[in-house]
């Protein structure tokens, strides 16, 4: 979004957020307030598991479609063709970040309300008024902004606790960036994602900070809860942190180098096997190094990532070639990512390259230290 040109501040959010056990059973009741002819886009990972239940809830009256797996021009055009002669007045996205982002795009094109139903707390995409667009090969290609945030974000904690633990942990990686990127945008006087380059609000900053504090306090407990497929207050807190706190935080304060590195990493095909939040988590370490933050803060983030299983080395995100020539592909792509402009100092490709090497070394040292401790116990 670039540097601020005025001091007008703005805050955006979904109209309603509901989170709790068994809430998927109330989906028809909620959606009927927005429209009675739903198009439902479902993630392929949960299509076979949930389709029968959703059909029953809507008494077979909804158009239920399976998401192909990538939010790209081809997928959006496929859905447009499918709905060209259909009478649809509400769009519902059920699934992961790319599925719900696609639902938002479709709702914008149809000019209908949109309801977002995440089936994992793996990303902060659900609450925002934007969608991240990729090519069909998975390379980041841009953002699409919508005129409004979702009308309703609905999370069923029972579904989320049964989702793969890796998705919850990835969501914590995405949420981990929220406070640090908010701080970077605030310090650099950069715009948030609300409309026409508005200034971050104090509310947005407070939410971003609370997001980080919640991760540190409840992250490991929530992971253990999810591993055993049981609910807990800690898990509910992390679901909210990953989804609502992180979503409101990033949209109302902005993003910076952590997500910038994620976007640049998409030029390396091997990183596409890793989740958004996993790559963002490594990006957080790189951002803190770019900003020359205190060793104490870097260690705190490193310890958190290591404790819950987020990537802390290049190899953790699939990169085994750490040669300068290879990593410079990422650094050069970073110069095309506008998020790096939200840092307080001018970022060069050499700085991005150095941050990756230094973060990788920090991570390797952390793993080596842990191995030594295990051997001496």
Q: List, in order of start, the domains of the chain with CATH numbers.
A: 17-161 (3.40.50.1970), 165-368 (1.20.1090.10)
pLDDT digits (tens, 9 = 90+) for 21-46: 999 999 999 999 999 999 999 999 89
Least confident span in 130-139, 179-188, 260-269, 271-280: 130-139
By percentage, how much of the chain surpasses pLDDT 70? 98
Whole-angstrom distance, CA of residue 265 vs CA of residue 120 = 23
Instruction: Please give the average per-residue pLDDT across 304-329, as a whole number.
Output: 97
The rounded Cα 43 to chain-centroid distance in angstroms is: 16
pLDDT value, residue 138: 84
Active site includes 262? yes
pLDDT value, residue 197: 79
Instruction: Please give the average per-residue pLDDT across 123-138, as a whole number.
Output: 91
> Residue 364 burial (CB < 10 Å; 0-12/13-18/19+)?
middle
Q: Does this model's pTM top 0.75?
A: yes
Task: Spot the catalytic one: 156, 174, 316, 360.
Answer: 174
Query: Would the pLDDT of 372 be above 90?
Result: no
pLDDT value, residue 1: 58
Q: Which two tokens stand for residue 197?
A: 């380059």
Active site includes 174? yes
- CA distances from residue 326 to 154, 356, 374 in whole angstroms, order as listed: 42, 12, 34
The overall longest dimension of the chain from CA atoms, in Å, is 69
Task: Spot the catalytic one: 101, 140, 156, 262.
Answer: 262
pLDDT value, residue 196: 79
Whole-angstrom distance, CA of residue 66 vs CA of residue 165 = 23
- 38 - beta bridge partners? 90
Q: Are 249 and 182 in contact (CB under 8 A)?
A: yes
pLDDT digits (tens, 9 = 90+) for 239-295: 999 999 999 999 999 999 999 999 999 999 999 999 999 999 999 999 999 999 999
Active site includes 259? yes
Task: Spot the catalytic one: 140, 276, 316, 360.
Answer: 276
Of 237 and 371, the one with more pLDDT: 237
Task: Spot the catalytic one: 156, 259, 263, 360.
Answer: 259
Active site includes 65? no
pLDDT value, residue 141: 86
- CA distances from residue 345 to 190, 301, 335 in whole angstroms, order as listed: 12, 22, 14
Identify the helix (H) or strand (E) that includes residue 155: strand 152-156
Secondary structure (H, E, C), 342-366 = HCCCCCCHHHHHHHHHHHHHHHHHH
């Amino acid at each position: 979004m670039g540097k601020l040109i005025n001091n007008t501040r703005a805050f955006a959010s979904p109209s309603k957020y509901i989170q709790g056990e068994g809430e998927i059973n109330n989906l028809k009741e909620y959606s009927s307030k927005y429209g009675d002819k739903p198009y439902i886009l479902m993630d392929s990972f949960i299509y076979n598991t949930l389709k029968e239940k959703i059909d029953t809830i809507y008494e077979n009256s909804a158009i239920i479609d399976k998401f192909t797996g990538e939010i790209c021009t081809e997928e959006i055009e496929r859905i447009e063709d499918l709905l060209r002669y259909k009478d649809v007045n509400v769009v519902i996205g059920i699934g992961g970040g790319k599925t719900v982002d696609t639902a938002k795009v479709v709702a914008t094109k149809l000019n209908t309300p949109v309801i977002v139903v995440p089936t994992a707390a793996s990303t902060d995409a659900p609450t925002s008024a934007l969608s991240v667009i990729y090519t069909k090969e998975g390379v980041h290609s841009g953002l699409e902004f919508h005129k409004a945030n979702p009308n309703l974000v609905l999370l069923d904690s029972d579904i989320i606790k049964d989702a793969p633990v890796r998705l919850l942990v990835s969501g914590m990686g995405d949420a981990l960036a929220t406070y640090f990127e908010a701080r970077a945008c605030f310090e650099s006087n950069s715009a948030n994602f609300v409309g026409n380059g508005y200034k971050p609000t104090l509310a947005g900053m407070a939410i971003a900070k609370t997001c980080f504090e919640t991760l540190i306090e409840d992250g490991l407990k929530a992971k253990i809860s999810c591993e055993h497929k049981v609910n807990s207050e800690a898990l509910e807190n992390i679901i909210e942190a990953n989804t609502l706190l992180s979503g409101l935080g990033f949209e109302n304060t902005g993003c910076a180098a952590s997500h910038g590195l994620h976007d640049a990493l998409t030029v390396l095909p091997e990183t596409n096997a890793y989740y958004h939040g996993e790559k963002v988590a490594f990006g957080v370490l790189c951002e803190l190094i770019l900003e020359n933050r205190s060793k104490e803060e870097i260690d705190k983030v490193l310890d958190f990532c290591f404790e819950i299983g987020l990537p802390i080395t290049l190899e953790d995100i699939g990169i085994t070639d750490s040669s300068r020539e290879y990593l410079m592909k990422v650094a050069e792509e970073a110069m095309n990512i506008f998020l790096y402009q939200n840092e307080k100092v001018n970022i060069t490709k050499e700085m991005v390259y150095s941050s990756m090497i230094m973060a990788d070394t920090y991570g390797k040292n952390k793993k080596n230290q842990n191995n030594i401790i295990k051997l001496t116990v």
